Structure 1
Amino acid sequence: MADLLLPNLLAGNCSDRVCVRVSRFWNFYDTNNETKLLHANMVLIDVEGNSIHAQVYPPTDELFRTRVKEGGVYTFSYFRVRGSNICYKPVENDQMLVFTKWTKVEEVLAVPPAFPMYSYSIASPEQLQARIDIRTQFTDVIGVIAAISSIGTTQTKLRQGSSTKRTITIQTPR
């Protein structure tokens, strides 16, 4: 069975197979009870850089937590494709995946070297300003690291002694 690219998925139950990198993996807890997990979330990227949000609900999340690691590449099959969440979408995609106890997971050991690691969409300062109080998109990237300096030492006025310092340059859209 050939792997489908993310844009080729159709809504509904899906027995097709996708090969994706788990770019991010995080938990979402009930805001009224921080010990109650509502769902685990993933941002998945295919070989062409297309991204999609995936969710898995308790108790099935335990199966994925032990088998799926952030940064790993996997094939998934037998999942549900549905419309994306209305609020706090982590990627620009109108669809998302829901993994169930029937979802098959296989780790890919021979990962192509050009397989993307991260999914991001850089927003200009004006776009960020326009997103204030807007809940449709989850904005968590403000730029791309362009340079990291070597560690140096600096003398501060307030403290006796020296402190270590590193300069990180973040590039934003022009």
Structure 2
Amino acid sequence: MSFTYIRDLQPFQFNKKLKVRICRMWRSKLIGSNDQFNGLQCILVDQMTDAIQASIKEINYDFVAPNIKAGCIYEITHFHTGRNKPSHKVVPHVAQLFFNVRTTFKELPTIHPHIPRHRFYLVDYTQLSTRIDKIDILTDVFGHITGIQPLEQKKWSPMRGLRINVKSALKIS
């Protein structure tokens, strides 16, 4: 079976083989809970510098997590794809990977062509205002501190019906 590039993955596919680097991993918590996790999330990057999110359900966490670590390159098989959820999308890919106890991870040595350690979807600061109120992909801000001011209470509404109080102390450009 030949390798599939991330850009060629679509929702609801099976029997694919990837050669990717796991560039980021994190555990998400259940909403409203301080001590219950909701599995493991990963960002994978391939040699074409495309990225995709992968998820492991909490029930599979103890079986899958010990087999992978961030920064390493793997040949991955026995997974399936689904639609990337618009509520917490972190990369602009239509598909998302789902790993379980059947998924195999074969660690590969550093190989050529090079697979980058990270993939960023940067937006020029002058275009950042176009991201306001868009919830199709989470947006990180990358910049430098231009000033510090006293804390002040702000109301922010990223999604309809949801209000979060944010304390603002830094100005970022």
Contact 2:47 2:113 in 1 (8 A): no
Equivalent residue, structure 2, for 1:41? 41
Partner SS for 2:54: strand
Distance in 2 separating the partners of 1:95 and 1:25: 18
* Richer in strand (by share): 1
Kept after mapping to 1: 8 A contact 2:11/2:94: no
Distance in 1 of aligned mates of 2:136 and 2:8: 24
Specify the SS of the correspondent of 1:71.
coil
The residue that corresponds to 2:82 in the other structure is 82
Distance 1:14 1:43 in 2: 19
* TM-score of the superposed pair, with normalisation by structure 2: 0.75
Instruction: Calculate the TM-score normalised by the size of structure 1.
Output: 0.75
Q: Higher helix proportion, which one?
A: 2
Contact kept? 1:122, 1:143, Cα under 8 Å:
no
CA shift, 1:4, in A, is 1.0
Q: Which runs of 5+ in 2 are unaligned?
A: 145-172
Q: In angstroms, what is the RMSD of aligned CA positions? A: 2.1
Partner of 1:94: 94
Q: Contact conserved, 1:121 with 1:141, CA < 8 A, in 2?
A: no
Stretches of structure 1 that go unaligned for 5 or more consecutive residues are 145-171
In structure 1, the partner of 2:27 is: 27
Report the AA paired with residue 45 of structure 2. I
Instruction: Count residues in correspondence.
Output: 145
Q: Which SS does the other structure have where 1:59 is aligned?
A: helix
